[in-house]
């Protein structure tokens, strides 16, 4: 008996409080009057509504409205309505006039009142009610009203309006559409039925300390993904609630307290950037919690823990490749630049400046082997503190050695900016190649023109393709700021990965969600995520996999005119985009 849509004729749009379409379409034109009623629905306290909407030539639409939560703390946090429509036919040979009568009868009107609204006689209405009793198999008016409400056989607009009636969802919507406040006494008619629990997503983010600017990137990237998912109706009708706890990633007690605070919220999953890089105990905290934990610590030792003890660490996923191939990517770029003729190396010597940190292992056997096979000499590896206050000795060694290129693997943006400031005052003709730090907007913002020509790389970076461009535009529109080139996209993708796993499993059992994460192939703005290896770590392209359809590209960028141009690897960038840095040009390099 319920109204049923013909196959292939349904479509959906998302409508805001002003009656504007803000998402999903439309695939077909939505009647302007219907958009006004969707906005009126949002002005009530109802969670959903079903009704019929008349179209020209006795055609009908079956309409469903569902309230969708916004993202807390976002500019777009107000609720929206998911408006679902389908072409339909009236069941049981009901006529348009009978739908009018049924709607008014369900609102409690007498035959005389109905006839007055429809401009017919009470006797005619009585005849129509008798026909409805027969068609719908009922014995009285109460049964007709119940069947009409239960099967969505009421229409909007209500014939004659809703003046003098209230209590039903459609009457409240009609009153709002006509500018009449909903009658106060009807607002608490329904019992407080439980709502579906939202998915609770925990985030541990560096909100204080030296990498707080990176934390802002993660907060915004994850927040944008949560907002977009909630605007689309959540996951199976369940919104995501984002539980954010800040920490100083270089203070172990702060990291521990942040993890424990998130766990106290009984979150369904946890995401973070790299709190475990300098605080390995954080990985054990996450393992003990036994819910999916997605991080971007870029740390092979922790991947090895998962590989060697999958029972204990089976819920831990590194959603980026490890640091192992930063050095080989550096040598690969130098080979391609020299081979293309766009750069003439002044020597075959290389200098590596590495942060004295637990998680920094760029000076590894893979790097030395690749450099030797390509005819490069690694003259020296200089270890510097995590928070260097003076680069004088490093610059002195750089002048002594005279390398063709220097790779600075310090990942803190402020520290890297400090190096570039010092280098700009006493430059050589070496290329400057940094790791990760310039992805944070604060790096370029603090340097200005001094950043020009710097080359840098990351194993998890925003692609400069259509998806990446759309992400950066949505980020810019939401936050009135430019996104960085790593953590914002990485956090956005972490939410997307979990959303896919929750969708596939219903999200009821963390074990099912964890299993789904191992089998998914997810295309995000930072590349493709396949986490099904023994270490549950994203694959690096081209160093670990030659197939870019299952890996994340080890992207190399150069800062040019304030923009980040991708130099490689192919097919994502090309060394033909390389420009000689201004300090080399000034020296005739």
pLDDT > 90: what percent of the chain? 78
What is the CATH topology of the domain spanning 324-458+554-586? Rossmann fold (3.40.50)
Weakest-pLDDT range from 200-204, 450-454, 585-589: 585-589
Between 88 and 72, the more confident residue is: 88
* Domain ranges (residues) in the chain: 1-188, 199-322+485-522, 324-458+554-586
Q: What is the mean pLDDT of residues 109-132?
A: 95
pLDDT class for 71, splitting at 50, 70, 90?
Answer: very low
Q: Given this model, what pLDDT does residue 4 score?
A: 45
Q: Given this model, what pLDDT does residue 294 score?
A: 98
What are the pLDDT digits (tens) for 405-449? Answer: 999 998 888 999 999 999 999 999 999 999 999 999 999 999 999
Q: Write the DSSP symbol of residue 436.
A: S
> In terms of Cα–Cα distance, which of 99, 119, 123 is closest to 111?
123
Rounded Cα–Cα distance for residues 317 and 56 (Å): 55
- What distances in angstroms separate CA 452 from CA 386, 400, 431, 438, 565, one per listed residue? 24, 24, 12, 11, 11
What are the pLDDT digits (tens) for 81-112? Answer: 889 899 999 999 999 999 999 999 999 999 99
Rounded Cα–Cα distance for residues 89 and 94 (Å): 9
- 199-322+485-522 matches 324-458+554-586 in fold: yes
pLDDT class for 131, splitting at 50, 70, 90?
Answer: very high
Q: Is the pLDDT of residue 587 over 90?
A: no
How many C-alpha atoms does 504 have within 13 Å on its Cβ side? 19
- Stated pTM of the model: 0.76
Question: Which long-range contacts does 511-516 make (Cβ < 8 Å, 24+ apart)?
Answer: 513/268, 513/269, 513/292, 514/292, 514/314, 514/315
Rounded Cα–Cα distance for residues 133 and 547 (Å): 66
Q: Given this model, what pLDDT does residue 585 score?
A: 72
What is the CATH topology of the domain spanning 1-188? Arc Repressor Mutant, subunit A (1.10.10)
Q: Given this model, what pLDDT does residue 185 score?
A: 47
Q: Is the pLDDT of residue 573 over 90?
A: yes
What is the CATH topology of the domain spanning 199-322+485-522? Rossmann fold (3.40.50)
What are the pLDDT digits (tens) for 333-353? Answer: 999 999 999 999 999 999 999
């Amino acid at each position: 008996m319920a109204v049923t849509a013909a196959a292939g004729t349904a479509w959906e749009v998302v409508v805001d409080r002003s009656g504007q379409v803000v998402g999903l379409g439309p695939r077909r034109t939505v009647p302007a009057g219907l958009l006004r009623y969707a906005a009126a629905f949002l002005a009530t306290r109802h969670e959903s509504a079903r009704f019929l909407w008349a179209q020209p030539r006795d055609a009908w639409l079956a309409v469903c409205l569902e309230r969708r939560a916004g993202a807390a703390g976002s500019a777009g946090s107000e609720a929206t309505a998911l408006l679902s429509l389908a072409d339909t036919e009236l069941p049981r040979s009901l006529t348009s006039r009978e739908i009018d009568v049924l709607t008014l009868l369900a609102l409690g009107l007498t035959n005389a009142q109905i006839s007055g609204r429809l401009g017919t006689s009470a006797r005619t209405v009585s005849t129509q009610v008798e026909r409805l009793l027969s068609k719908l198999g009922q014995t009285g008016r109460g049964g007709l009203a119940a069947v009409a409400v239960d099967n969505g056989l009421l229409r909007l607009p209500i014939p004659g309006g809703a003046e003098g009636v209230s209590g039903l969802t459609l009457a409240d919507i009609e009153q709002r559409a006509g500018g009449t406040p909903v009658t106060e006494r009807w607002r608490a008619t329904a019992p407080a039925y439980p709502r579906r629990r939202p998915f609770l997503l925990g985030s541990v983010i560096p909100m204080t300390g030296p990498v707080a600017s990176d934390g802002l990137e993660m907060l915004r990237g994850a927040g944008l993904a949560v907002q977009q998912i909630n605007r689309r109706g959540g996951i199976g009708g369940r919104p995501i609630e984002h539980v954010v706890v800040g920490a100083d990633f270089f203070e172990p007690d702060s990291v521990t307290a942040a993890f424990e605070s998130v766990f106290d919220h009984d979150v369904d999953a946890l995401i973070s950037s790299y709190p475990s890089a300098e605080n390995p105990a954080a990985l054990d905290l996450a393992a003990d919690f036994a819910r999916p934990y997605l991080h971007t610590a870029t740390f092979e030792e922790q991947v090895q823990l998962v590989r060697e003890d999958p029972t204990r660490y089976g819920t831990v996923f590194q959603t980026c490749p490890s640091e192992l191939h930063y050095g080989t990517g550096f040598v690969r770029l130098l080979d391609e630049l020299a081979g293309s003729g766009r750069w003439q190396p002044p020597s075959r010597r290389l200098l590596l400046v590495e942060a004295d940190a637990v998680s920094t292992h760029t000076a590894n056997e893979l790097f030395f082997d690749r450099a030797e096979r390509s005819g490069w000499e690694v003259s020296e590896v200089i270890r510097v503190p995590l928070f260097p206050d003076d680069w004088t000795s490093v610059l002195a060694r750089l002048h002594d050695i005279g390398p063709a290129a220097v790779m600075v693997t310090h990942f803190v943006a402020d520290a890297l900016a400090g190096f570039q400031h010092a280098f700009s005052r006493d430059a050589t003709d070496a290329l400057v190649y940094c790791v990760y730090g310039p992805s944070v907007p604060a790096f370029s913002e603090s340097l200005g023109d001094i950043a020009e020509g710097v080359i840098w790389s990351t194993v998890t970076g925003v692609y400069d393709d259509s998806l990446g461009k759309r992400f950066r535009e949505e980020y810019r529109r939401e936050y009135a700021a430019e996104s960085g080139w790593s953590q914002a996209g990485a956090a956005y993708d972490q939410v997307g990965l979990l959303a896919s796993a929750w969708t596939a499993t219903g999200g009821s059992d963390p074990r099912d969600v964890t299993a789904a994460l191992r089998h998914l192939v997810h295309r995000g703005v930072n590349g493709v995520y396949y986490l099904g290896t023994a270490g549950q770590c994203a694959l690096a392209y081209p160093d670990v996999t030659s197939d870019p359809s299952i890996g994340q590209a080890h992207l190399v960028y150069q800062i040019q005119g304030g923009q980040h141009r991708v130099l490689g690897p192919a097919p994502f960038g090309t060394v033909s985009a390389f420009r000689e840095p201004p300090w080399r040009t000034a020296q005739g390099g």
